[in-house]
């Protein structure tokens, strides 16, 4: 799809632009007279190819398209316009105003159709409705872009104006607790340690929220590259090994295929596996286990992460990927699994979970396999 003209440039036009594409010169001339009289900027074409060239050059607000023309058909013209710029409204002019033609035209992107022969008032009514549709589309796009701009500004504000001073406070707590600023009594140390824990939790919450917001803005997965999941998952297992050993949890990589390549964002995918592995440790039993397997099947890479932990109840299971949903109301931000789900979705993958209370949890991730055609 071609890049659209900036919305503010559309809004600044003195006259709305209409193009008529019809092989009947009389139709082009009569419509032009009506539109110019009503104050529009008008152009015409008598075949689909030249009509599309004018659409690309002038980027009109509204295009009237005849279905029956020599060369490429009106249906093809509709499809090309929709692919070029879906905000351009199209109306079909036809002498074959059947239900089948109307349905097919709508599928190709047409907003409405006007049957031949027609009178100026019919043309004006259809044009008014079509241009109102156009204005609504542009206003919707403008609001959406403004929303994205506000979101980006808010993310930046949270990152710099909230997280930065909290990190500074965290540093002061560490200095005081280390005794560098002077002696601290046992009671003061206890209070400071509790305060530091709360600061640490707040910083973690802000970090997770920022990750969630950035994934929503597609910034974490905007640059995709081939990723070999086997060394990536092995790296994740090494990262969590010490914590697992402290809780006497055995972590195993049971099987892996040599062709476990996907097209993805390495940092985002690592966040997925680390989150799931850390959950597997946090909610596991002492001397429990975590099992990881990687297999390829039917052009998908299947990753399974299972644990022998406390499990998830049936009432909680349908909601665990929702943002801020907490199974244990006293622990976590409720964003970890929501982040996992959003990253997987952004990679055109899927994630499922099965669990029984007291018997552990099993996460199954499916990602499209990447094939290097050059090899």
pLDDT in tens, the chain (375 residues): 344 454 455 555 788 999 999 999 999 999 999 999 999 999 999 999 999 999 999 999 999 999 888 888 888 999 999 999 999 999 998 876 566 777 778 788 899 888 888 899 999 999 999 999 999 988 888 888 887 777 667 766 766 677 778 888 888 888 888 888 888 888 888 888 888 888 887 887 777 777 666 665 455 556 688 999 999 999 999 999 999 998 899 999 887 666 789 988 888 899 899 999 999 998 898 889 999 999 998 899 999 999 999 888 888 888 888 876 666 654 555 678 888 998 898 888 999 999 988 889 999 999 999 877 655
Query: What pLDDT score was predicted for residue 232?
Result: 93
What pLDDT, on a 0 to 100 scale, did the predictor assign at position 2? 44
- Whether residue 117 is preceded by a cis peptide bond, meaning omega within 30 degrees of 0, is yes
Rounded CA separation 182/254 (Å): 52
**For the sheet containing 89-94, what is the strand order?**
41-45, 17-21, 62-66, 89-94, 112-115
- In this prediction, residue 298 carries a pLDDT of 86
Cβ neighbours of 273 (radius 10 Å): 23
| Structural contact between residues 106 and 135, judged by C-beta atoms closer than 8 angstroms | no
Torsion angle defined by CA atoms of residues 64, 69, 71 and 73, in that order, rounded to the nearest 10 degrees: 60
Give the model's pLDDT for residue 229. Answer: 93
Q: Which residue has the tokens 């043309």?
A: 123
Cβ burial of 177 (10 Å; 0-12, 13-18, 19+) is middle
Q: Which stretches of the chain are assigned E, i.e. beta strand?
A: 17-21, 41-45, 62-66, 89-94, 112-115, 225-228, 250-255, 261-264, 289-297, 300-307, 350-356, 360-368
Q: What is the pLDDT of residue 31?
A: 94
| Whole-angstrom distance, CA of residue 258 vs CA of residue 169 | 47
CA distances from 62 to 7, 40, 329 (A): 15, 11, 55
Predicted local distance difference test score (pLDDT) of residue 328:
60
- For residue 330, the model assigns a pLDDT of 47
**pLDDT (0 to 100) of residue 224:** 80
Handedness of CA 256, 262, 268, 272 (dihedral sign): negative
pLDDT of residue 3: 46
d(CA 355, CA 181) in angstroms, rounded, equals 49
Partners of 367 in beta bridges: 301
């Amino acid at each position: 799809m071609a890049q659209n003209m900036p919305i503010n440039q559309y809004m600044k036009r003195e006259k709305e632009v209409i193009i008529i594409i019809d092989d009947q010169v009389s139709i082009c001339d009569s419509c032009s007279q009506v539109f110019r009289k009503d104050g529009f900027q008008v152009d015409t074409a008598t075949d689909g190819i030249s009509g599309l060239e004018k659409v690309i050059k002038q980027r009109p607000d509204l295009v009237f398209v005849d279905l029956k023309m020599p060369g490429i058909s009106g249906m093809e013209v509709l499809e090309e316009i929709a692919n070029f710029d879906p905000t351009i409204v199209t109306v079909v002019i036809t002498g074959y105003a059947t239900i089948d033609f109307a349905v097919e035209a709508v599928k190709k992107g047409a907003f409405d159709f006007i049957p031949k022969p027609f009178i100026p008032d019919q043309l004006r009514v259809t044009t008014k409705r079509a241009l109102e549709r156009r204005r609504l589309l542009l206003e919707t796009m403008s609001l959406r872009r403004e929303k994205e701009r506000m979101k980006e500004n808010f993310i930046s504000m949270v990152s710099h104006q909230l997280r930065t001073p909290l990190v500074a406070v965290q540093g002061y707590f560490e200095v005081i607790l280390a005794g560098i600023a002077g002696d601290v009594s046992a009671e003061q140390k206890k209070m400071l340690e509790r305060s530091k824990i709360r600061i640490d939790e707040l910083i973690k919450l802000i970090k997770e929220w920022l990750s969630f917001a950035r994934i929503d803005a597609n910034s974490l997965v905007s640059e995709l590259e081939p990723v070999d999941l086997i060394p990536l998952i092995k790296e994740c297992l090494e990262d969590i090994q010490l914590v697992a050993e402290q809780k006497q949890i055995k972590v195993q990589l049971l099987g892996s295929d040599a062709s476990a390549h996907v097209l993805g964002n390495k940092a985002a995918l690592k966040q997925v596996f680390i989150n799931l592995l850390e959950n597997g440790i946090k909610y596991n039993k002492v001397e429990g286990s975590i099992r990881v397997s990687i297999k390829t099947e039917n052009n998908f890479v299947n990753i399974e992460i299972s644990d022998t932990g406390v499990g998830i109840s049936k009432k909680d299971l349908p909601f665990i990927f929702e943002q801020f949903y907490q199974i244990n109301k006293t622990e976590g931000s409720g964003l970890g699994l929501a982040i996992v789900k959003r990253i997987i979705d952004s990679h055109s993958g899927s994630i499922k979970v099965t669990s029984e209370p007291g018997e552990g949890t099993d996460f199954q991730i499916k990602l499209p396999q990447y094939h290097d055609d050059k090899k």
